[in-house]
A and B are shown apart, each in its own frame.
Chain A
């Protein structure tokens, strides 16, 4: 199982703050699965330039851009968090 944690503004689409998902594959496939499950998510996660740059994704508290990006392999017990990028400074 992979644990997925959503920020408040994604819960309009997901109707839940987090969930455990039976999943095997990379981050990109997980996002495809989530968009299939929650069709409203697609317009939040993607825009005309591709993946929304105002969303940061973390796997086990590490920014995926420091891992293998969307090709980051997910394994049982991993936690994936979507966090708004606009904070700090």
Chain B
């Protein structure tokens, strides 16, 4: 039977759209009946399953038929060319740019919207910097529920096109993502019948990202990699992937927990806490082109920092210029155009190898969470000066 448990005081609650412990304000997490899962789940069953995250349904917190647009079980690539350039023999990439709305958010939204239907919610909502907006809007359209999306004022319109096309109501909030998120949180309080996927459905929502751990293990022949590089915004992705590894260790599908490394743009709080050893202090002023990772007040910052520390990992915060170069390097070596968050991961990977924190022979999995076309505006200058010809002979003359 599914239940929720407070990660701070351990208080157990029933399966419901709540996200905060009413005893201590601590975050809630889903707890599973592991004896039952051990009875029904097997590697063979997974291997014969659907080619989406729902091949891992036994490990996800849903009861009925999932809302499945086909998210998950994305490309798993042995990046030999990039590995050779950065100095790694066994570099693997999980490329979530091929999800239905082109980012990893389809994994979490698929689970959260399935729960929203279970709870008979009347509308869906979220705060977003773009990727989540597109994903939520698509899933809401599929299940015929209205979607309300809160975005920071001034966000590039191109990032909202997806959500608009799917028919979502988009609301701009004065200030940064943190302001939009706070307003959505207040609205979730006032409208408990609305499923805000990253607020009152958050304990279920984050479970979708566990499948990024499951896929790494399955694709490596049911073994764990040695090290991971995970992009961080709120820190929820990293903590969920950690839970995913623990799940498969619990059922003996793998035996080792990898080293967790985080990647965040320059000036953000989780990396700062890892590098300087202090608390995760929110930052108000920041300036980066990596908007999808720009959360100044990260909800899971504390947990992410603890996991990085406990597993012996580290965190890097490359500059915007390094991120841009990393996107180009990946595109030109592996044929993958990733969004700037992916560039942050590759730029961090380069730093981690150069500093000797990752050994040349280790098996490393780096997560690319979104498609480069979502942040293509940054690269438009690459085509600002094109050669123009009128006859093919001019080309031959080059």
Contacts and interface: CB of A to CB of B under 8 A. Distances in A.
The answer to whether A and B interact is yes
Interface of A: 7-9, 12, 43-44, 47, 52-56, 58, 61, 63, 65-66, 81, 83-89
Contacts of A43: 24
A87 B202 contact: yes
20 contacts: A7-B189, A9-B22, A43-B24, A53-B302, A54-B26, A56-B297, A63-B284, A84-B25, A84-B185, A85-B299, A86-B25, A86-B26, A86-B202, A86-B299, A87-B196, A87-B299, A88-B127, A88-B178, A88-B299, A89-B233
Contacts of B274: none
Contacts of B300: 86, 89
Nearest to B181: A88
Given A53-B302, A65-B281, A65-B282, A86 B22 contact: no
Interface in B19-54: 19-27
B78 interface: no
Given A83-B186, A89-B198, A47 B20 contact: no
A85 B299 CA distance: 6
Contacts of B233: 89
Given A63-B284, A87-B199, A89-B295, A54 B25 contact: yes
B25 A88 contact: no
B357 interface: no
Contacts of A66: 282, 284
Given A84-B20, A86-B202, A54 B295 contact: no
Given A54-B24, A54-B25, A65-B282, A83 B185 contact: yes
Nearest to B192: A8
B153 interface: no
Given A54-B8, A54-B26, A61-B179, A87 B198 contact: yes
A84 B235 contact: no
Interface in B287-322: 295, 297-300, 302
B25 A55 contact: yes
A10 to B, nearest CB: 9
B234 interface: yes
A81 B183 CA distance: 12
Interface in B181-204: 181-182, 184-186, 188-189, 196, 198-199, 202
A16 to B, nearest CB: 14
